Amino acid sequence: MNDFIEELRWRGMLQDMTAGIEAHLNEGQATAYLGFDPTADSLHIGHLVGVMTLLHFQRAGHQPVALIGGATGMIGDPSFKSAERNLLDKDTLDRNISGIQRQLEKFLDFGSDKPNRALLVNNYDWMAGFSFLEFIRDVGKYITVNYMMAKDSVKRRLEEGNGLSFTEFTYQLIQGYDFYHLWKHQGCSIQLGGSDQWGNIVTGTELIRKKEGGEAYALTVPLITKADGSKFGKTEGGSVWLDPEKTSPYAFYQFWLNVSDTDASKYIRIFSTLDRKTIENLEEDHQEAPHLRLLQKAIAKDVTIRIHSEADYQMALKASGILFGKSSLEDLASLDERTFLQVFEGVPFMQVARAAYLEADNVVDLLCTDQTIFSSKGEARKLIQGGGLLINKVKISDPRAKPEIPLLQGTYLLIQKGKKNYFIIKIEG
Ligand SMILES: N[C@@H](Cc1ccc(O)cc1)C(=O)O
C-alpha cells in the first residue's frame, strides 16, 4: 500500500485536509467518495482532477466511490457560483448520468472482485424517497442556519447582493447527508473534492458527528490555475470535453500540446500517471531543449491514450505533424474527415462542382475555377513550373497535366502554395 497523501503532495494535488486523516489512512484500507453533478452528458477536463484523485486513492489500495449527483444535479451547487442555476429535468439528468458513468470506467477499476474495487452510486437513489418532513427532522435539525450561512460560498452570494434561493441554500445539507449516508452504509469515512467543496464536505463531517458521534474526514485538491491567469480548460471553442463527439481526440491532444512550459510542469503531475522519476527526467530533458515541448507531448500522449485510445493518439500525432513537420499523401489520407477539417480549420475553401472537376482539362483550369487560390492562370503556371505547388502533398510539375490526384475522403484536395499557404478545394456533388 503506498502513501496516498504523500502521492498527492508531490503531485501538487493537496490543498487542505482535516486533522487525523493520515493516521486514519495508515490503519488500513479506507473508503472515500467524490461527487460529480451531472450537469452535462460528459465530464470536461476540469473534472479530471477529481477523477485522478480517486484513481490515486485506488492505486494506494483504498476503495474509491464515485458519486453521481442525480439528486444534487436537480438543485445546482451554489458554491462560488455567482448566479442561481437552472433546474435540469429528469430525462436530461438520466442521459447525463450514463455518459459520465462510461467515462469514469476508463479510470477506475469497477469490475474486479478485489476488496478495493470502485463503486458507483447515485444520490437520487436515497434522496428521491426522502419526504420533506423527514428530511427537515432527520437532517435539518442538526445544522444551524448560522452555521450554514457562515460558509464562504454562501457568504459570497449574500454579499454580492444576489442572494440565493432556499433551494440552493439547502444544497449543502443534501451533500452533507450523502456523506452521512455513505458513512453509515458503505463505511465511507473520507470525502474528497475540489477546494470549492470544503464547506459542503465539512457540513457532512459535522452531521456525522452530531447525529452519531462519528468521525469522518475531508480532503480537498487545489483548483487548477493557469500561469497567465486565464481560466483552465477553456479554449475559444468552449470547454474541453472528454466525449470525442464534443471535443475530437485531435483537438483534445492539441489542447495539451499547447499548454505553457510553466503549466506543463504542473499539469504532468496532476493529469498523467507517470511516476516521479520519469517526470523529473522529462523536466531535465525539457529544460535542455524547451522547443521540443517534451513535457507537453508526454502529457498529451498519456491523457489522450487514457481517455480516447492508442489509435486516436496515433491519428492526433499524425495530424499534428502535418502543419508543422514533414508528411506524405499517406498521412493525409489516413485522417478521418473531421480531423482533416480541424487540422485545416480557417484555411480558404474553394468549391468546385464534381462535373467541372471531372471535365477539367488541366490542373491550372481547376485551380483557377475562381480567384480563391490564384488571381490569374499565369500566376498558377509560373508557380507550378517553379516547383512550388503541391496537391495532397504531391508536387505538381506539369501545368497541362490532368488533375489525377485521388481526392481525400472522396471530396477534398489540399492545395499548398509554397511551404505554408494552404487552400482546400471541395468537390461538390
Ligand atoms: N457539489 C459537488 C458535487 C457533489 C454532489 C453530491 C455530493 O454528495 C458530493 C459532491 C460539485 O458541485 O462539484
Residue 49 three-state SS: helix
Question: How far, in Å, CA of 387 to CA of 418, rounded?
Answer: 9
Closest by CA position to 168, among listed 89, 93, 83, 75: 75
Specify the ligand 1 atom closest to the Cα of 200: 1
**Residue 393 a catalytic site member:** no
How far apart are the CA of 260 and the centre of ligand 1, in A?
A: 30
Looking at residue 323, its pLDDT comes to 77
Set 94, 138, 196, 285: catalytic member: 196
Cβ pair 35, 193 in contact under 8 A: yes
How far apart are the CA of 205 and the centre of ligand 1, in A?
A: 14
Say if ligand 1 is within 6 A of residue 58 CB: no
Q: How far lies 375's CA from each of 134, 213, 262, 378, 425, in Å?
A: 77, 82, 45, 9, 15
Specify the ligand 1 atom closest to the Cα of 35: 10
Say if ligand 1 is within 6 A of residue 175 CB: yes
Question: How far, in Å, CA of 406 to CA of 332, rounded?
Answer: 11
Of 64-68, 78-82, 189-193, 384-388, the least confident = 78-82
How far apart are the CA of 67 and the centre of ligand 1, in A?
A: 8
How far apart are the CA of 72 and the centre of ligand 1, in A?
A: 7
**Is the predicted pLDDT of residue 288 greater than 90, yes or no?**
yes
Question: For a pocket test of ligand 1, which of 37, 122, 183 has the largest count of ligand atoms closer than 8 A to its C-beta?
Answer: 37
How far apart are the CA of 228 and the centre of ligand 1, in A?
A: 28
Say if ligand 1 is within 6 A of residue 168 CB: no
**DSSP letter string over 248-315?**
-HHHHHHHHHTS-HHHHHHHHHHH----HHHHHHHHHHHHH-GGG-HHHHHHHHHHHHHHS-HHHHHH
Q: Where is 234: in which H helix or E strand?
A: strand 234-235
Q: Do the interacting molecules here have an ipTM over 0.90? A: yes
Say if ligand 1 is within 6 A of residue 153 CB: no
Please give the mean pLDDT across all residues of the chain: 92
**What's the rounded mean pLDDT across residues 314-328?**
84
Kindly report, residue by residue over 348-363, the tens digit of the pLDDT. Answer: 999 999 998 988 889 9
Set 24, 59, 85, 211: catalytic member: 85
Between the two ends of the chain, the Cα-to-Cα distance in Å is 62
Kindly report, residue by residue over 70-112, the tens digit of the pLDDT. Answer: 999 888 888 877 777 777 788 888 889 889 989 999 999 998 8
Q: How far out from the chain centre does Cα 393 lie?
A: 33
Set 11, 44, 318, 381: catalytic member: 44
Cβ pair 329, 393 in contact under 8 A: yes
List all residues 6 or more positions away from 355 whose beta carbon is below 8 Å from its beta carbon.
Answer: 429
Question: How far, in Å, CA of 222 to CA of 12, rounded?
Answer: 8
Cβ pair 65, 33 in contact under 8 A: yes
**Residue 44 a catalytic site member:** yes
Question: For a pocket test of ligand 1, which of 200, 207, 208 has the largest count of ligand atoms closer than 8 A to its C-beta?
Answer: 200
Question: How far, in Å, CA of 220 to CA of 29, rounded?
Answer: 19
Confidence bin at 126 (pLDDT 50/70/90): very high
List all residues 6 or more positions away from 359 whose beta carbon is below 8 Å from its beta carbon.
Answer: none
**Residue 211 a catalytic site member:** no
**Is the predicted pLDDT of residue 256 greater than 80, yes or no?**
yes
pTM: 0.89
Residue 127 three-state SS: helix
Looking at residue 1, its pLDDT comes to 55
**Is the predicted pLDDT of residue 370 greater than 60, yes or no?**
yes
Q: In terms of C-beta density within 10 A (0-12 exposed, 13-18 middle, 19 or more buried), how is residue 74 classed? A: buried
Specify the ligand 1 atom closest to the Cα of 79: 12
53-57: long-range contacts (C-beta < 8 A, 24 or more apart)?
Answer: 53/8, 53/13, 53/192, 53/221, 54/107, 54/108, 54/118, 54/192, 55/107, 55/108, 55/273, 56/4, 56/7, 56/8, 56/11, 56/13, 57/4, 57/32, 57/192
**Is the predicted pLDDT of residue 274 greater than 60, yes or no?**
yes
Q: Which residues pair with 353 in a beta bridge?
A: 428
pLDDT above 90: percentage of residues in the chain: 70
Confidence bin at 2 (pLDDT 50/70/90): low
Kindly report, residue by residue over 224-234, the tens digit of the pLDDT. Answer: 989 988 889 88
How far apart are the CA of 2 and the centre of ligand 1, in A?
A: 27
User: Closest Cα to atom 12, ligand 1: which residue?
Assistant: 77
